[in-house]
Amino acid sequence: STSSSSSSSAPRQPYVVNGQTYQLDEWSNTPPSILSKVNRNIHRLPSHPISILRQIVEDHFSSHTALSPSTPIVSVHQNFDELGFPPDHPGRSLTDSYYLNKEYMLRTHTSAHEVESYRRGLDKWLLSADVYRRDEIDSSHYPVFHQMEGTSVWSLDQLHTLPELNKELAAQLEKCPIQIEDNTKISPSNPYQAHHDPIHAEQITQNLKHSLNSLIFRLFGKQATKDGEPLRVRWIEAYFPFTTPSYEVEVWWEGEWLELLGCGVVMQKTLDQAGVPDKAGWAFGLGLERLSMVLFSIPDIRLFWTQDPRFHTQFSAGKISTFKPYSRYPPCYKDMSFWLPQGAISDTAGKGSGSVAGGGGVSAAGGKGRVFHENDYCEIVREVAGDLVETVTLIDEFTHPKTSRQSKCYRLNYRHMDRSLSNEEVNELQQKVQDRVVEEMGIEMR
């Protein structure tokens, strides 16, 4: 299916990225504002919080090889097919991912490099990179963010070393001051793999949990209490097409559970694809921004992209320090109420769920104006207002009792990171957003 806004926001010239040309087709939906982020490499700036955390994690997993691919462009095959994503997985849709064309895309997760890395014969590696997703707009979501993939696999004849490793890790964890809640269990919806000896599957799962808990201990050990409250971390069951059992780790932050990472026991199919069928092990994918926000007390994900020295001078390599917010300029919000096209259905799937994890379905409705996707709306807002927009929140929804027509009202909150915005400026932005959504999404202002 193609989305109604993708064709209009796509350029007419082929994409040229890092000297490579990508011909356009009906999948091309990557706007220039996104491509401009491709070579920023904030995860490699030595004293940027994203990079500080990357280094600490690399230090913690010191026997793992650290990898950092040079381009975020991967084939659709690498990002999805090779990892067993079904053809109708919502993450594949144009509303969730950025495509250069039907064959190439901006990776949506660092797992896109799993098969090639296992194929190189690497057993223990970490990989850090920028990843790209079309998403909602708020303080913890941004269309470009950074992930760190980590994995350990063993040849089947090395698995007997696991009980000893697990015992050592368990002993270290006894000193961990953080309450880590784990009520997960193996069940038909989150099973061990039929291919694995259940004893091995259990040992791998335990090694996964101990290894990540030990990382949490390393990262959060000194902040076991925050504002007098004990830090809360929990394991929950999850689903990924390329792992089972699968889990997510969350931390209680600013009054809600914030997801830090997804992980699981690598699906045998992935290792088969990579030509290493006689191995087994685990993998995780960690969101570096989310972790940084908690550890450095960074209140807004957009700050990672600021060039303001008042941000950058606060951090130094190797050190987790508390960010002291410099005076923020006042916000300014404007509401936008509109009618969806007659008969249109609305899709806000993915809210808070993360696109590679599943939920919802790829809409097959297609056709201009038939489906209202919140991500399409948000992208137009970003295209017009860039980082000046802080949040986009649905504040009201309404279906007309006679015509069944649907109406929505979004609140757009604007704030400049470095100065005050004038009311005229904001009105102008709001008007531009309005003009574009009317033209591109077929909606009608109320």
For residue 120, give the 3-state DSSP assignment: coil
Residue 420 beta carbon to ligand FA5: minimum distance, rounded to whole angstroms: 27
Helix residue spans in 195-326 (DSSP H): 198-220, 268-273, 288-295, 309-312
Nearer residue to ligand FA5 within complex by CB, 72 or 285: 285
Q: Which does 130 bind (CB under 5 to 8 A by kind): ligand FA5, Mg ion, none?
A: none
Contacts of 357 (CB under 8 A, 6+ apart): 238, 239, 240, 248, 262
Nearer residue to ligand FA5 within complex by CB, 150 or 340: 150
Distance CA 294, CA 253 (A): 7
| Beta bridge pairs of residue 259 | 250
Q: Return the HEC string of 121-167.
A: CCCEEEEEEEEECCCCCECCECCEEEEEEEEEEEEHHHHHHHHHHHH
Residues binding ligand FA5 (CB under 6 A) = 109, 111, 133, 135, 141-142, 145, 147, 149, 240, 243, 259-264, 283-285, 287, 289-290, 354, 356-357
Nearer residue to ligand FA5 within complex by CB, 30 or 111: 111
Nearer residue to ligand FA5 within complex by CB, 147 or 211: 147
Residue 259 beta carbon to ligand FA5: minimum distance, rounded to whole angstroms: 4
Are residues 322 and 296 in contact, defined by beta-carbon separation less than 8 angstroms?
A: yes
Footprint of Mg ion on residues 190-249 (CB under 5 A)?
none
Residue 361 beta carbon to ligand FA5: minimum distance, rounded to whole angstroms: 17
Nearer residue to ligand FA5 within complex by CB, 99 or 145: 145
Contacts of 260 (CB under 8 A, 6+ apart): 248, 249, 250, 251, 286, 287, 290, 291, 294
**Count of H-run helices and E-run strands, the chain:** 12, 20
Indicate the residue whose CB is closest to Mg ion: 354
What single letter denotes the amino acid at residue 182? D
Q: Which does 83 bind (CB under 5 to 8 A by kind): ligand FA5, Mg ion, none?
A: none
Residue 338 beta carbon to Mg ion: minimum distance, rounded to whole angstroms: 31
Q: Which does 135 bind (CB under 5 to 8 A by kind): Mg ion, ligand FA5, none?
A: ligand FA5
Are residues 337 and 446 in contact, defined by beta-carbon separation less than 8 angstroms?
A: yes
One symbol per residue from 254 to 273: x for binding Mg ion (CB under 5 A), - otherwise; what is it? --------x-----------
Indicate the residue whose CB is closest to ligand FA5: 287
Q: Which does 350 bind (CB under 5 to 8 A by kind): ligand FA5, Mg ion, none?
A: none
One symbol per residue from 390 to 429: x for binding Mg ion (CB under 5 A), - otherwise; what is it? ----------------------------------------
Residue 383 beta carbon to Mg ion: minimum distance, rounded to whole angstroms: 26
Element (H, E) at 231: none
Nearer residue to Mg ion within complex by CB, 149 or 383: 149
How many other CB atoms are there within 10 angstroms of residue 247's CB atom? 25
Asked if 251 is part of the footprint of Mg ion (rule: CB under 5 A), the reply reads no
Are residues 193 and 267 in contact, defined by beta-carbon separation less than 8 angstroms?
A: yes
Residue 286 beta carbon to ligand FA5: minimum distance, rounded to whole angstroms: 6
Count of residues making up the chain: 446
Footprint of Mg ion on residues 332-371 (CB under 5 A)?
354, 357
Nearer residue to Mg ion within complex by CB, 31 or 350: 350
Nearer residue to Mg ion within complex by CB, 150 or 354: 354
Going by their DSSP bridges, the two strands 279-287 and 144-155 should be labelled as antiparallel
Distance CA 353, CA 298 (A): 22
